[in-house]
Chains A and B, each alone.
Chain A
Amino acid sequence: MKSETESQTLPDLPMKMSEPRRQHPVAALTNVLNTLRDLLVPLVIIFFFGGGGGGNGLFSSPWYLGSFLMFLLVLGVARWMRFTYRVEDDEIRIEYGLFVRKRSFIPRHRIQVIDISSGVLQRAFGLVSLEVQTAGGGASEAKINALTLDDALWIKENMSPEHEEEAGSNPVTGDAHGIPPKENETGETTEAAVGQPAQLRRSAAAATTGMSEPVYALSWRRLLIAGTTSGSFGIALSIVGTIFAQMNTVIDDDAVVDFIELVSANDTVFFIGVAVALIFVAWVLSIVGTVLSYGNFAIYKRRREMVISRGILEKKLTTIPYSRIQGIRIQEGVLRQPLGFCTLYVDSAGFGEQSGKSTTLFPLLRRSEAEEFIRVMAPEYDRQPETVSPPPRALRRYIIRTLIPTGILIGLSYWLLPFAHFILPIIPVAVVLGYYRWRAAAAGTDTDTLLIRYRNLAKTTVLMKRYRIQSATAWDNYFQRRRGLKSLTVNIASSDTGASFSALDLEADDALDFVEWVEPHYNRKQAAVSGETATETEKKEDRDQGGFLDIGY
């Protein structure tokens, strides 16, 4: 959605919306494309391996291929015919299914987020797709693939949970229509009351996201820097490498042999040349990838949620309710840290760009700007707790920990590769990395915020709220015990699986202190001052209050 300044009045839709309606016919085409995309891997496999000799594979004749596509198209149209949606009785009701009729009725109080996005095809027809996410995570969510922006906005405005969800968490189950519009701390009034929000006047861009101007937007210069310093470089490299390896099967063997004989006179130079070329291609690919997915990045702020809009070919809108934020991460990549740049991520429960991944809060900003960004976008997380670091005697463990995988790598390459000496310089690199890991590691708390800093390759600083920490563990192995060190691991909910963050080899006392901090009810000072007796009293109190479970042997 380009920011057209022309304002528009949303038509009053409620009457129409309660009747079952179909998606825009383009949805039939989207169906076909989606099916093709889902079948991509099997199709590629068939293309490369099937039908080659026998001649009766899917791709052996244009007729097969044509009828296959025809079949998909008919299927797509049929699905489009059978798919209806409506809004009725405070529920989004979707009915679909070719042979088995399925109905999914989603009551408003179960809706967590409504996302509106638009792909290339949809934009060509001025349409958007609307996705409803519920707390269940995946199973019962619904997606309407092609509808007009007006309809989508009407649904979003009327069915958004934020009208009835209190800032804390629990959805209110009462009648939402009775809740009067409130004022928030900054004094701006909320949207019109539920039921009659249709008269909102907004520009198209503002309407999509629900607010006027982005709070932060990514400049093209920053976008390019983000691309060139991106970590997806390694992934791109492996893809290019795989394709390169597969070339053997496509290109005639003799030609390859001839070519290698031609250059083998100077094979070191040849290999270095190939390596440089591969790296360069991967690098360009990763830049393109970053630009496509993070182009036009802008982040908006609403009363109870942040909205992220990004993407060049496919525009994506992600909504992150403040009440779902579990933690914020500042990541300084190896290539970005020397330039003074970092990336911000947010871990949120129940959903994300995809499960198992946290959401990019901002792709690239100066490290010195990060605090301000957090202060503006998520003021709760604008904290800088005092930290403790692993003691000097932990340095040895950090270096050894880095050297172990290095040793395995060296062992393997000596075993598998004909000449492996070139890999030896990795040893000093690993030692230096171990040192930097030790130097980066830190943990600290203030009244309600825990900070953990660590480095794998990138230096990462995580900020978490005490009431978001699901469990905390202090652990040590035999060697750590001997040296009086303990590691700290805390878990927060993030996407489906949860995320855990660790500060390794802290002073044992510090690690235990952090675990205690997570659940502050146990009065440690008292226990420390008067020893066992105080502990006993404390326990008794707990017993009296909580009905302590007295079982034992």
Chain B
Amino acid sequence: MQRFEAESAYNNQISFIPAEGFFLSFNMRPDPEHKIDPKAIPAWRISGGLGSLFWWFIPVIYGFIALGGGVDRWMILAVTALVVLNTVLQATIIPKIRWQRWSYQIDKHEIYLKSGIFVIRRTLIPVNRIQHVDTRQGPILRSFSLSTVTITTAATTHEIPALNDEVADEVRNRISDLARSADEDV
């Protein structure tokens, strides 16, 4: 875990570790410049922790079956351990890594997103392909006064999660304005 964190911090700056002997003319643009709200971390700890409780049903049901006998005890222990580990990670370290990895940028012609824990994605959405933009918030996000911006194209839906309410409104209006003027350009 220690090693992983170091790795992620490093990644956060240039996001790409060249393999040995791989000299690159790495001319990609820098990472998106805005981070999402740091309050995302406690919010995700709650929502991730609660959400992960769902998986507890597996060992619980397994346990009930085991009461009837005939099920391997080690199997139950292993599954329980996995499920508990998942909850612990979701409630502690994973939200932090996810926050560190999340960044976004809104330019005249494109939305540029970067995110991911194990798989890191850099996504580009041309502004004139955007169909509509929403903000939404569930009860947990609301209690932190955070909102999620949802960007919809004809084929895909993208999210910029956990922005401060005002920022989210601003982002939504900005994207919507850009999308409208981009349409007029075409």
Q: Tell me the A residues contacting B by CB distance below 8 Å.
A: 349, 469-478, 481-484, 491-494, 497-500, 508-509, 512, 515-516, 518-519, 521-522, 524-525, 527-528, 532, 535, 539, 542, 545-549, 551-553
B16 pairs with A471, CB closer than 8 A: no
Chain B residues positioned under 8 Å from A474 (CB to CB) = 121-122
Q: Which of B29, B109, B153 contacts A527 (CB 8 A)?
A: B29
Chain A residues positioned under 8 Å from B121 (CB to CB) = 473-475
* Residue B158 interfacial (CB < 8 Å): yes
Given that A471-B129, A471-B156 are contacting pairs, would A522 and B17 also be in contact in the complex, using a CB cutoff of 8 Å? no
Closest 9 CB pairs of A and B: A546-B108, A498-B155, A493-B154, A528-B27, A470-B153, A521-B109, A470-B155, A475-B121, A473-B123
Q: Which of A481, A522, A528 contacts B110 (CB 8 A)?
A: A522
Given that A471-B129, A548-B108, A549-B170 are contacting pairs, would A508 and B123 also be in contact in the complex, using a CB cutoff of 8 Å? no
> Could you tell me the distance between the alpha carbons of A200 and B171 in the complex, rounded to whole angstroms?
55
Mostly, the A contact residues are mixed
B153 pairs with A524, CB closer than 8 A: no
A519 pairs with B29, CB closer than 8 A: no
> Could you tell me the distance between the alpha carbons of A525 and B177 in the complex, rounded to whole angstroms?
28
Q: Which of A471, A500, A512, A519 contacts B109 (CB 8 A)?
A: A519
B108 pairs with A471, CB closer than 8 A: no
Chain B residues positioned under 8 Å from A508 (CB to CB) = 16, 24, 26
Q: Which of A349, A473, A552, A553 contacts B124 (CB 8 A)?
A: A473
Q: Which of A524, A525, A546, A552 contacts B35 (CB 8 A)?
A: A552
Chain A residues positioned under 8 Å from B177 (CB to CB) = 547
Chain A residues positioned under 8 Å from B17 (CB to CB) = 481-482
Provide 15 A-B residue pairs closer than 8 Å at the C-beta atoms, listed in order of the A residue. A471-B123, A471-B126, A474-B121, A475-B116, A475-B119, A481-B11, A482-B17, A484-B24, A491-B156, A499-B155, A509-B28, A515-B122, A535-B29, A546-B178, A549-B171
A-B contact count (CB 8 A): 134
Min distance, Cβ B86 to any Cβ of chain A, angstroms: 19
Interface residues on B, range: 35 or more
> Could you tell me the distance between the alpha carbons of A493 and B126 in the complex, rounded to whole angstroms?
14
* Residue B136 interfacial (CB < 8 Å): no
A546 pairs with B107, CB closer than 8 A: yes
List residues 100-130 of chain B with CB under 8 A from any CB of chain A. Answer: 106-110, 116, 118-126, 129
Given that A521-B108, A521-B109 are contacting pairs, would A470 and B25 also be in contact in the complex, using a CB cutoff of 8 Å? no
Chain A residues positioned under 8 Å from B119 (CB to CB) = 475-477
Chain A residues positioned under 8 Å from B107 (CB to CB) = 521-522, 539, 542, 546, 548
Chain A residues positioned under 8 Å from B120 (CB to CB) = 475-477, 481
A472 pairs with B123, CB closer than 8 A: yes
Given that A469-B129, A512-B28 are contacting pairs, would A542 and B108 also be in contact in the complex, using a CB cutoff of 8 Å? yes
Chain B residues positioned under 8 Å from A548 (CB to CB) = 106-108
Chain A residues positioned under 8 Å from B69 (CB to CB) = none
Chain A residues positioned under 8 Å from B118 (CB to CB) = 477-478
Binary CB contact string for chain B from 142 to 186 against chain A (1 if under 8 A, 0 otherwise): 000000000001111010000000010011001001100000000
* Residue B73 interfacial (CB < 8 Å): no
Closest to A169 in B: B186
Chain B residues positioned under 8 Å from A477 (CB to CB) = 118-120
Chain A residues positioned under 8 Å from B122 (CB to CB) = 473-475, 512, 515
Min distance, Cβ B109 to any Cβ of chain A, angstroms: 4
Chain A residues positioned under 8 Å from B26 (CB to CB) = 508-509
Given that A518-B124, A528-B25 are contacting pairs, would A484 and B19 also be in contact in the complex, using a CB cutoff of 8 Å? yes
List residues 1-52 of chain B with CB under 8 A from any CB of chain A. Answer: 7, 11, 16-19, 22, 24-30, 33-35, 38
> Could you tell me the distance between the alpha carbons of A545 and B185 in the complex, rounded to whole angstroms?
13
Given that A470-B155, A498-B155 are contacting pairs, would A553 and B35 also be in contact in the complex, using a CB cutoff of 8 Å? yes
> Could you tell me the distance between the alpha carbons of A539 and B125 in the complex, rounded to whole angstroms?
17
> Could you tell me the distance between the alpha carbons of A477 and B129 in the complex, rounded to whole angstroms?
27
Chain A residues positioned under 8 Å from B110 (CB to CB) = 519, 521-522
A484 pairs with B108, CB closer than 8 A: no
Chain B residues positioned under 8 Å from A512 (CB to CB) = 28, 122
Closest to B33 in A: A552
A469 pairs with B24, CB closer than 8 A: no
Chain B residues positioned under 8 Å from A552 (CB to CB) = 33-35
Chain B residues positioned under 8 Å from A539 (CB to CB) = 107
Chain B residues positioned under 8 Å from A497 (CB to CB) = 155
> Could you tell me the distance between the alpha carbons of A528 and B29 in the complex, rounded to whole angstroms?
8
Given that A471-B158, A475-B116, A508-B16 are contacting pairs, would A535 and B30 also be in contact in the complex, using a CB cutoff of 8 Å? yes
> Could you tell me the distance between the alpha carbons of A516 and B123 in the complex, rounded to whole angstroms?
10
> Could you tell me the distance between the alpha carbons of A264 and B62 in the complex, rounded to whole angstroms?
39
Closest to A538 in B: B29
Min distance, Cβ A474 to any Cβ of chain B, angstroms: 5
